[in-house]
Structure 1
Amino acid sequence: MFSNNSQDESYQFISKLPKITIDKSSINFLGDPKRYKEFLLNEIQNAKVRIAIVALYFENDEAGNEIFTALYSAKQKNPALDIVICVDWHRAQRGRIGINNLNKTNADWYLELTEKHTPNEIPVYGIPINTRETLGVLHFKGAIIDDTTLFTGASINNVYLHQEEKYRLDRYHAIYNKPLANSFYQFIFEKMINSKAAQRLDSAQRPKTSSIKKYIKQLRRDLSQSHLTVIEDHSHHVKLDFPVEATPIVGVGAKNTFNQLIESLVAISKKKIIICTPYFNLPPALLKKMRKKLKEGIEIEIIVGDKTANDFYIPVTEPFKAIGSLPYFYELNLKKFMKKYQKFCDKGLLHIHLWKDNDHTFHLKGLWIDDNWMLLTGNNLNPRAWSLDLENGILLHDENQYLAVSKAAELEYIHQHTNRLEHFSHLDEIDDYPYKVKKFIRRLKRVKMDKLINRLL
């Protein structure tokens, strides 16, 4: 996207993006999934004007039911309260991968809830980002409750909200700022819900995907050309004591603005880059930028989940399913990467940290650039995010490091269950994998299907 000598271009690109000035006191680092859930429920209970929740999926389980119960309670208390939910169209109409799909889908559950709570219904829209789930999903995340933006890469179910024993670690932030909330809220309605491709999932007359194919293609074209509109609120403009700049960002398709932003952030780094991703499969364009930075002597730290902390991991005690091979593919990618750049590990420039906490899982994403840039996002930093899925995020520019204490606390919380890999040989080989996993991966490699899989992961 940029020339090799791109640092100046990158600064110019970032400087032209819209920015919202927010006081540091309005940015809340929530830390862990239980605290995030409590905060979400409290915000729902106290909502006065609007609630919009967007997630990949909203699961029919204990946590999902608790959130829906809170939403209906808020609606009953305040019938004028506008509430809307958006989830991925395809994901809502199938069962979980690898799980017996004889039970009702999430879409069936939404219909039951609407029929039960009429007339105080809460519309649930399915947003199809492409005609097939494998070609793109709604990976736009967050909740707008009045003037608060709750941002996390987590969806809504038991493990994401730590409802029971297991949790899936993500990042969780709440930002109180009207222009920021408005920018996301406006995008949700104008660019997604108002599209002819958006369909009510809580309806008995859900159309077949094939019947709305042309609308889906149009939606994808529109989204690929869309940007978040920022309208500053000057009615209550006051000078802030601890200003932090926030840039809301969105992108879908190759060469989108969000991809350019991520590449630009890496390009402008002068000291250190920290990257978190649960699925190690970095896009070539990002790898190229990182390689250049390592050669310049810039320190890079990558935090990634251990293969057993991957949400697709299947214990060897359970029956093998093809989807369970994915964590091993990610580990092979990581091993290949480390082997190629081992000399930078030896020099203390490249640090690879594996996250593992018993049988909990890791779903955490984001970037920290030097001491003053931080990207909140659900973007997995992989080929899917780069070209297929609809992604969003919030870039925080903390030039005076007002958020330094909160940032350090968040990273310390993430690091507490990580171990640094000193050498690529510490990662398993294919021969070390369970027999059925090893057999499956080798079969795919023989017909070169592993390369195709990496492009879709």
Structure 2
Amino acid sequence: MPSLFKRSLLPKLRSFPLTADAVSVLAGAAEFRRCLLEKIASATRRIYIVALYLQQDEAGQEILDALHAAKLARPELDVVVVVDWLRAQRGLIGAGKQPGNSAWYQEVTRTHASEVPIYGVPVQTRELFGVLHLKGFVIDDWVIYSGASLNNVYLHKFDKYRYDRYHLLHNRELADSMQHLVQHGLVASKAVHRLDLPNLPTTRSLRNDIGDLRSRLKHAAYDTTQGTTDRTGLSVSPLLGVGKNNPLNRVICELIASAQQQLTICTPYFNLPLTIIREINRALARGVKIDIVVGDKTANDFYIPPSEPFRVISALPYLYEISLRRFAKRHQRNINSGQLNLHLWRDGDNTYHLKGMWIDRRYTLLTGNNLNPRAFRLDLENALLIDDPHGELLEPRGKELAEIFQHTRRIEHFQNLETLAEYPAGVAKFLKRVSRVRIERLLYRIL
């Protein structure tokens, strides 16, 4: 179904043809970790790892050790790791002053005979105003795509996991395109430096280079010259975006606008941009059935139990619930009719990090984009749009959705969601103060 936008990008996207057997949906975080380690061990030409962070913990160590082992066994391998520059140089939130992962990277490089360069990409001069949020690992001609970063919980190393989506695509042209962007659009920039070597430049000294990089990224795109605009068969289109009104944002809105029967949206942080809210309202008006799956506030990765001391960051899950409650209240009539279904995901103490969209029986959007104002304005984001006009992937698509819905409950009424009066005292006090000084709207834009 073509987009309803006057200056539409959707029909003009160049894509790479796919076969149905070249696309796999991995079963969960543990399977994702197993697949990643297997592909690293068997790589013969290239390994490009791009993530928000590679954490110094058991799972992170396992991944970094595997990369060094692969490089040592096959020195001709092109191995590159890319993470966010600022995130790599700070400790965990709430854990006190720490050197960050970069100190660990430097120690690993110093003590290994093999060389695995780890580059830091500064999307902004401050982490609050933008990070590297690109997803996708390129290993030979495979692309492993997930919203997950690399640590114990994302990789389900021990008891707890953070639930995400995990896709494996075998397509040389797609892998080439994603590698080309990393190699020429990121690593080649003067703003990008190796984090695994000592004597790092200060972020302040890189301000001009960072500004130049961000300006160029606003006009950057994946190289799809080897692709086609023929959309008659199964295909995949890589998308890139940073800043207001970028191509990825526009395609997301066009996809919602193109929905005629059914739309499913997943986001861990319910704080939808106004442009998405408008398209959802229009979709409801034309009769589209919509399912939105969000994490229960206790399944949010910022959630802190009330029994623990209050920290400002622990108010975020409650802010998202307030936003969800307002949305549900405005659309209670659609909820009552069954046209709009809001689902809360929760599975014990595990956390929820899913994002993406399913449009009618044709389009599937794989992305790390949280579908919030921060993702739409500040972070460097990407996505893979799978176009399936003949329904060749309906079976694995259905299985993935069934797995997602397995741990959800439907919100029957907006009053089923808690209010400020029911929140822990520290959270309620902070949120009242935020509302009183009128900075709530600003928080929604940057968090």
* Short-chain TM bin: over 0.9
**Residue 4 of structure 2 aligns with which residue?**
7
Match for residue 73 of structure 1 among 69, 86, 94: 69
Match for residue 94 of structure 1 among 65, 69, 90: 90
Map 1:393-432 to 2 at 5 A.
Answer: 393-432=383-422
Q: Distance in 2 between matches of 1:298 and 1:231?
A: 35
Residue deviations 1:345-396 (CA, integer Å, cap 9, x gap): 1121110000000110000000000001000000000001100000001000
- After TM superposition, the score normalised by the length of structure 1 is 0.95
Residue identity in the other structure for 1:156: L
Match for residue 439 of structure 2 among 436, 440, 449: 449
Distance change (3 Å), C-alpha of 1:8 and 1:442? closer
**Residue 109 of structure 2 aligns with which residue?**
114
**Residue 309 of structure 2 aligns with which residue?**
319
Q: Distance in 2 between matches of 1:131 and 1:153?
A: 23
CA displacement at 1:13 relative to structure 2: 2.0
**Residue 378 of structure 1 aligns with which residue?**
368
CA displacement at 1:445 relative to structure 2: 0.5
Paired residue secondary structure (2:18): strand
Contact 2:131–2:378 (CA<8 Å) still a contact in 1?
yes
Paired residue secondary structure (1:204): coil
Map 1:268-307 to 2 at 5 A.
Answer: 268-307=258-297
Determine if the alignment matches structure 1 residue 437 to structure 2 residue 431.
no
Map 1:205-284 to 2 at 5 A.
Answer: 205-232=199-226, 243-284=233-274
Contact 2:15–2:227 (CA<8 Å) still a contact in 1?
no
Contact 2:368–2:382 (CA<8 Å) still a contact in 1?
yes
Q: Distance in 2 between matches of 1:72 and 1:188?
A: 20
Match for residue 44 of structure 1 among 40, 46, 52: 40
Residue identity in the other structure for 1:297: G
- After TM superposition, the score normalised by the length of structure 2 is 0.97
Residue deviations 1:255-292 (CA, integer Å, cap 9, x gap): 10000000000011100110000000000011011111
Paired residue secondary structure (2:347): coil
Contact 1:282–1:382 (CA<8 Å) still a contact in 2?
yes
Q: Distance in 2 between matches of 1:350 and 1:207?
A: 51
Deviates more, 1:223-232 or 1:56-65: 223-232
Contact 2:272–2:371 (CA<8 Å) still a contact in 1?
yes
Q: Distance in 2 between matches of 1:30 and 1:243?
A: 23
- May I ask how many residue pairs the two structures share in their alignment? 443
Q: Distance in 1 between matches of 2:310 and 2:187?
A: 39
Determine if the alignment matches structure 1 residue 182 to structure 2 residue 179.
no
Q: Distance in 2 between matches of 1:8 and 1:227?
A: 21
Q: Distance in 2 between matches of 1:108 and 1:141?
A: 23
Distance change (3 Å), C-alpha of 1:214 and 1:363? same
Distance change (3 Å), C-alpha of 1:123 and 1:427? same
Q: Distance in 1 between matches of 2:5 and 2:244?
A: 22
Contact 1:95–1:105 (CA<8 Å) still a contact in 2?
yes
CA displacement at 1:231 relative to structure 2: 4.0
Distance change (3 Å), C-alpha of 1:254 and 1:8? closer
Residue identity in the other structure for 2:6: E
Q: Distance in 1 between matches of 2:227 and 2:306?
A: 55
Contact 2:362–2:388 (CA<8 Å) still a contact in 1?
yes
Residue identity in the other structure for 2:308: E
Q: Distance in 2 between matches of 1:63 and 1:261?
A: 35
Determine if the alignment matches structure 1 residue 29 to structure 2 residue 19.
no
Q: Distance in 2 between matches of 1:302 and 1:206?
A: 43
Q: Distance in 1 between matches of 2:142 and 2:445?
A: 36
Distance change (3 Å), C-alpha of 1:8 and 1:452? closer
Report sequence identity in percent.
45
Paired residue secondary structure (1:173): strand
CA displacement at 1:443 relative to structure 2: 0.6
Determine if the alignment matches structure 1 residue 389 to structure 2 residue 388.
no
Q: List alignment gaps of at least 5 residues for structure 1.
A: 235-241
Q: Distance in 2 between matches of 1:272 and 1:391?
A: 25
Determine if the alignment matches structure 1 residue 191 to structure 2 residue 185.
yes
Residue identity in the other structure for 1:200: R
Contact 2:3–2:11 (CA<8 Å) still a contact in 1?
no
Residue identity in the other structure for 1:55: A
Q: Distance in 2 between matches of 1:24 and 1:31?
A: 17
CA displacement at 1:233 relative to structure 2: 8.2
**Residue 123 of structure 1 aligns with which residue?**
117
Contact 2:5–2:254 (CA<8 Å) still a contact in 1?
no
Structure 1 residue ranges, 4+ long, deviating more than 3 angstroms after superposition: none
Distance change (3 Å), C-alpha of 1:14 and 1:77? same
Residue identity in the other structure for 2:424: P
Residue deviations 1:125-157 (CA, integer Å, cap 9, x gap): 000001110110000011000010000000000
Q: List alignment gaps of at least 5 residues for structure 2.
A: none
CA displacement at 1:8 relative to structure 2: 5.3
**Residue 158 of structure 2 aligns with which residue?**
164
Paired residue secondary structure (1:246): strand
Contact 1:278–1:362 (CA<8 Å) still a contact in 2?
yes
